[in-house]
Structures are given as structure tokens and as C-alpha cells.
Structure 1
Amino acid sequence: MSSRLSYVWLATRRGLGAGAAVGLLRAFGSPEAVFAADRTSLTTARDCPLRKVQVDALCDKNTDEAERILAQCAGDGIQIITLGDSAYPDRLRAIENPPVVLYVRGKWPDFDVMPGIAVVGTREATPYGLQTAEHIGSALGRAGFITVSGMALGNDGAAHRGALRAGGLTVAVLAGGVDVCYPPQHRGLMGDILLSGAIVSEYPPGTEPRGEHYHARNRIISGLSVAAVIVEAPGYRSGALITARAALDQGRDVYAVPGALDAPQSAACNALIEKGEAALLRSPEALVRTYSGLLPARSGEHRAPHFVKTPQKTHAARQTPRKTEKPAPPPPSVMADSLSGDERRIVELVQQGVGTPEDLIERCGLPAPRVMSLITMLEMDGILRREKGRLVIGCQ
């Protein structure tokens, strides 16, 4: 029996749940060993107490459903990533109850290289919330982070759109199968996400979203991310607050966008800040500044930083600046002592007339996400600015 088939078999046992499945893997060592276990072994498994209904499900060794799922995924181009695969994000694997199987459509980013940041909020979003969520997604996308959300109406969708419009990566975690678009109004958004990012779920293709699935999927949204940003949340039963609680339980940073004192959509966000459970988010740029150190740094390795299954060399490694080019002396106000070596290199190239992010990536020898992050921070500091679509020195 293949490992992949046994993982899918284990994940489809009725009434088991991710927590019990992970406990079984720890107790028996592999999904194949769990499959081979008899009733006595399952009943007496150390540190993994099971209810009778769970033992009964595990004693059902029929693999027809798992084989059907594997065949459907192969036919529909849906990638299956198991808890034992190298493509499974280490950050998600570290949570208490990680999903045993992930089903993925699109291009799966390498979360171990590119950090994800969750941006979630209410479906009943205000214009302020929609604008803020899109602004955050856009800033994260430009800087090279993965914007993670749930593709729901309101703030979630705005965050995805912001990342897409900035040319960034975004991943949507669904409460149903990755081939089931919910809400149906987001069919176009789902298609846009699939062009450059990914749709992921722990539920097999064809699964319709259910109420309890949303609570479970929120732990994946936070589990994939280094931090969770709550844009708007009207009350403590909202999905955004469930994501915040999951992030806190997982030891992740939580931020909340403040709102007016009498704004019902901001009530829970303001309460999180008041109780010290979430940091007040003043601007998306603060997120970029805080987590920029997690972005890929300069390296001699030329593997693709974005996607797990598509290694390719970057243009940045193929060219170096021509020896005949001599940078003009930089103004003292620009080349402050606070600039890092990489920041200085970006500024020097802009002074030489290299005015687009694509050309900077080609010339500076740094990974693309790192370059985009540096550009964003230099723009925030006023050192660079955009003029007619090109980067120029801000103080000129």
C-alpha cells in the first residue's frame, strides 16, 4: 500500500479528526502502520485514546474512497501534499493538530522560504475595512510576502485582490473542496488566484463547505502564517476572531486594525487591542518592516524562491553589473549610515538609471522577493519614489 494512499485513507476516516489522526501517526510511526493495526492495537495505543466509533472507522480497511480521490485528483490536476511530504510547510506541521492531507490547486508557494501573513475580516465589511484590507494585501504582495486568507466576501476577498493587483502571491484556504467555489460570487477571484497562487483545503474534491469546516480551516489560515491581521470583526463569534484565537494558541503574532469607538464591525478588533491580545496595526508598512528579515536573503543557490514544485534559475544570478559602469557619488542624505548593504546597492543602481523593479532584479544579484521588499522599505523612507512608472531618488 502506497504511503499517499494510506494518508488519504487515514484522513477520510469518519469521526476521526486531525488531532486524533496526528496522534495515531505519532503512536504508530506511519500511516501504513496505522492501516495495518488491528482493533486491539488501536484500542490500547499509548497516548492516543480513541472512542469506539473511531476504532470502528479505523478497522474498516476498505480503500475504495481513497483510491477514488487519488484518481480524481490526478485527472483534475489537484496536488496532494501529505504530512510526510517535504512540500508540507514546516510552520503548519508544527501546530497542535495539522491537517494530515492538503489538496492544492494552482501553484503552491514554498512557505518555508516565503513567509505568509494572514489577513482576515468580516463578510459585512465597511468601505473603510475593504480599503484597508486591500491596502494591506497590496503592500504585502509588493514586498514579497504570501497573503493568506479565506476567499470569503468582504475583507478576505479585498485582501486577495490587493495582493493580486500588486503582482504578489496569495493563497486561499477553503472550507470545502478546492474545486468548489464558495461563495459563488468569487468565481472570478478564484480564477485570478489560481493564475499566480493557490487554493488549498484539507477536504477532498467535491466536498461542500459546512459550518464546522470553517472553524477547522481557520487554524490552517493562521498555521500557514507568521502573523494574523484582523481587519474588522463585529463580535466574538465571527470567523476572523476564531482565526485570531487560533493564531494566539499557535504562538503567532496577532494584529488588529483599530476602528471608530461606535463602529460595530470594529468592536472585537478594538477589544483585542484593549486587552493586549493583539497589537495595534497602524499601517501595512509596519508589517513589512517587522517581518522583512524573514524574506529570502542573498544566496549563491539559484532555486526558485516562490514555488515548491517549479525550481528554476532566476535572472538575477545570470548577470552582474558591467565593470565600465561607475555609480555617481550618492548624496549624503540618501546614503545614510542606517542603510544596509543591499539597500545601498539598490540606491546605486537607481542612480545609474536602472528604473524598474524588473531591471533591478536582473542587475543586483538578489532574489526577486528580497528586491521588492527593499524597494518598498526605501519608498516608505522617502529614499526612492516613483515618477512616470520608474523609480528615482526621492530627494531629487
Structure 2
Amino acid sequence: MPSRLSYVWLSLRRGLGSRAAAEALRAFGSPDALYAADRKMLATAPCGLCKAQVDALCDKDTAEAERIIGECAERGIQIITAGDSAYPDRLRAIADPPMVLYVRGRWPDFDVTPGIAVVGTREATAYGLQTAESIGTALARAGFITVSGMALGNDGAAHRGALRAGGLTVAVLAGGVDVCYPPRHRGLMGDILLSGAVVSEYPPGTEPKGAHYHDRNRIISGLSVASVIVEAADYRSGALITARHALDQGRDVYAVPGALDAPQSKACNELIEKGEAALLRSPQALVRAYNGLLRVPPAARRAEQTPRRQADMRPAAPGREAGSGGNKQEPPAKTGQKQAPTALPETLRGEERRIAELVQQGVSTPEELIERCGLPAPRVMALVTMLEVDGVLRREKGRLVMGGR
């Protein structure tokens, strides 16, 4: 039997549970071997299955799995199993990974581009909405994937922030990927599908219900290197459940502090007070903390480490910038009066210094920087963001200029 069919069959075993399914899969080595196992083999397996779980695995009917696979093929819904290379390693590493992911849209490579979860309450304050959106924007500009649950309030704001910055965002749903909930987020879901993806462990047509939300939160945190809790009122908050999952998975948790008397910030303040979450002072702190996880292809890294060509070391001809290779550069943005070039901080090294030098020479847009330095776009955007935070660069009328420090 094809492995995909075995995985879908396994994911549909009622009463088994994702943790028991993962443990059984590890015990038998493959979904095909698990499907072929008889009652005696299942009952004596080292994973310690109970009778109800053995009964579930003894049901070898694949009709429902075959129907779902056929329906997904007809509707363009991607099925990613735990055995596929497209399945994220971080999600596979949790104790109870979903056996199958159903995906619509453009599924990103989480093993190359890290995801950071941004979640919160549906009853968000204006402060919370603005904060969630700014975090989504900063993560997108730096090249991270913003992961959230497409719920009302903070979740939706985080998705919108990433989308407005032209970045990647992924929504994890508590129902089928063809079921938009809440209905008023139909437009947001459409926007996410244009540049990112919606994902669920539930087959198409599944309506969201209470228990599903708890389970989907482990996927939100499992896909991510860290989870940010923007607002959460109490222990019943879905965002707080996401934080608990992240802590259980050994992932980092951040909380946005709020006013002492703000109900929506009560759980966030408590997480910080107990030392279970780090206090998030700014979105740029996340960029700095995880910037090293943005992978740079070896060829680009070698190019960065290669000394400049001898031709680039010659004095520039009149009207040309040094290192331009003979191509005339765009003039720097006018600042009202001519100033001497700003000296770069001695602490700048490697890629950051190269970016700053290019801006100093007159390169003033991210697109030009990407073309000139040979680094991947997400890496360039992350470096620019960090240089802006440090005051080395700033934006003036949409163009990058030296910050004057």
C-alpha cells in the first residue's frame, strides 16, 4: 500500500490520538508496517497501546482515506505526510506531530526560513492590534515566516502586518483548509493564499470545534522557533495554551507586557513574572535573536568572504564610485546640504559592513542591495533591519541613507 495512503489512514484512526500514533509509528518504523500489524503485534508493541487504540489500528478500512486523497487531488489541496521532505523538521520533532498536513497556497520551506508564532486574544485592544501588526511587519521584512491562527483580534493583525510588508505568513486552522472561520476573515484568507498558505491536520470539509483549537495550537508552536503572546486574559486563552505547548516543546516564549490593570494583558504579565516568557520590548529584538537561523547558501557565503578584486581596490574614476565595476551609481538621496561621508562604526564586520558600505556609496534601495551584494533577499532585509535598529542606516523618503552614527 502506498505510504501516503498509510499515513492518511493512520491520521483517521478515531480514539488513537496524535501522541499514540507517533509512538506507534516509531515502534513499527513505518506506516505500512503499522498497517500490516495484526492484533497480537499491536497489543505487545513496546509503545504500550491500550485496547481502544489497538482496536482503532485493527480497523484496516482505507475507503475514507482513498476518498480524501482523491478529493484533495481534484481540488488542488496538497497532502504533506510526516515522511515527506516538505514536512518541517521542527514540527516532526515534537512529541505529538500530526501525521498529515493538508495545505492550500504556497507552502514555504520552514527548514530554510524559520517561522515565529504571533498569537493573542480575540478581544484585542487597540494597543494589542497595533503591536501584533508591527511584529508581523518586522518579521516579514527580516525574512521570517509569521505563523498564527487567523482568529479575530491579535492573530488577524499579525497576518495583516506580514502581508502588508510583502512577507510570508501561514495560518494554522482548527478545521479543514476549505472552511473559513471566522467567516468575516474570508478576505484575509484569500490574501494569505496569494503569498503564503493555510494548513490543517483535519481533512477538507471538517468544521472547527472546541477540541480542535487546543490541538491546532501545538502545530502553531511546533512550526515555530519561538512564540510571541501579544495579549491573553487568563488560563483559558488559546494564546496561553500555545505558550504552554511551546514550553513543553522546548521552544522560546515571549510575552508583550501590558498595563497592570489591563485584563487582556493579565496572563502575559504573569508569564513574564514567573519567568516562563521573556519580556518582548520591540519586534527588532526577535529579529536579532533569530537572525542567525536565516540560512545563507554556501555560494553566497563564499562570495561574501572572498576579498575584493584588485580592480575594485583602485581609486574611483571621476563621477564613479569605488567598487562599481565601471557602472555609474544612483546618486544618494538629497538631505538638504552636502555632507562628508559618515564614518562607519569600527564594530561593523562582515555582511553588515558590506551593506553599510554599499549604502555609503549611494545604493539606496533593498533591490539594489540584493543585486550588488549577492546575498538572498531575506538575509539582506534582516541585515538592513538590524542596521536601522542600531542607527547606522535610516530611511528618508523611502530610500536608505546613512544614519549619522
State whether TM-score is above 0.5. Answer: yes
Q: Quick one: which amino acid aligns to residue 276 of structure 1?
A: G
Residues 254-300 of structure 1 show CA distances to partners (whole Å, capped at 9, x for unaligned) of: 11000000000000000011111111111101111111111123531
Q: 2:202 aligns to what?
A: 203
Instruction: Output the CA distance in 2 between the equivalents of 1:119 and 1:333.
Output: 37
User: What's the TM-score, normalizing by structure 1?
Assistant: 0.91
**Amino acid in structure 2 at the alignment position of 1:324:** G
Aligned partner of residue 187 in structure 1, secondary structure: helix
Cross-structure match for 1:61 = 60
Q: Which residue of 1 aligns with 2:363?
A: 354
Corresponding position of 1:312 = none
Deviation at 1:324, TM superposition (A): 2.7
2:203 and 2:99 map into 1 onto residues whose CA distance is 12
Following superposition, the deviation at residue 11 of structure 1 comes to 0.5
- Does 2:71 match 1:72? yes
Flag structure 2 segments of 5+ consecutive residues without an equivalent: 302-322, 332-338
Matched-pair contact (CA < 8 Å) for 1:296–1:369: no
Structure 2 counterpart of 1:394, which letter?
G
Q: How many residues align?
A: 376
Tell me what 2:347 maps to: 338
Residue 300 of structure 2 contacts residue 375 of structure 2 at CA under 8 Å; is this kept in 1?
no
What is the one-letter code of the residue matched to 1:231? V
- CA gap of 1:331–1:111, structure 2 versus 1, over 3 A, is farther
Give 1:274-285 correspondences, 5 Å limit: 274-285=273-284
Residues 137 and 163, structure 1, Cα contact 8 Å, conserved in 2: yes
Rg comparison, structure with higher value: 2
**1:311-326 counterparts in 2 under 5 A?**
322-324=324-326
Report what 2:251 is aligned to: 252
SS in 1 for 2:394: strand
- Partners in 2 of 1:219 and 1:338 — Cα distance? 40
1:60 CA displacement:
1.5
User: Would the aligned equivalents of 1:177 and 1:209 in 2 still touch at CA under 8 Å?
Assistant: yes
Aligned to 2:306: none
Q: Which runs of 5+ in 1 are unaligned?
A: 303-320
Q: Is residue 219 of structure 2 the alignment partner of residue 220 of structure 1? A: yes
In the TM superposition, what are the counterparts of 1:1-396 in structure 2 within 5 Å? Answer: 1-46=1-46, 48-297=47-296, 299-300=298-299, 322-324=324-326, 334-395=343-404
Whole-Å separation in 2 of the counterparts to 1:134 and 1:361:
26
SS in 2 for 1:300: helix
TM-aligned CA deviation for residue 325 of structure 1 = 5.7
User: Offset at 1:356?
Assistant: 1.4
For residue 111 of structure 2, give the secondary structure of its aligned residue in structure 1: coil
Counterpart residue identity of residue 323, structure 1 = G
Q: Secondary structure at the match of 2:299?
A: coil
Q: CA RMSD in A?
A: 1.9
- TM-superposed CA distance for 1:331, in Å, is 7.1
Letter in 2 for 1:28: F
User: Aligned to 1:171, what secondary structure does the other structure show?
Assistant: strand
Q: How many Å separate the matches in 1 of 2:217 and 2:140?
A: 21
The residue aligned with 1:315 is: none
What CA distance in whole angstroms lies between the structure 1 residues aligned with 2:349 and 2:284?
Answer: 18
> Is the CA contact (8 Å cut-off) linking 1:334 and 1:383 kept in structure 2?
no
Which deviations, in whole Å up to 9, do the C-alpha atoms of 1:330-387 show, x marking residues without a partner?
9785421221211121122222322211121112100110000011111111211112
Q: Which amino acid aligns with 1:348?
A: E
Q: Return the TM-score normalized by structure 2.
A: 0.89
Taking the aligned partners of 1:393 and 1:335, their CA distance within structure 2 comes to: 9
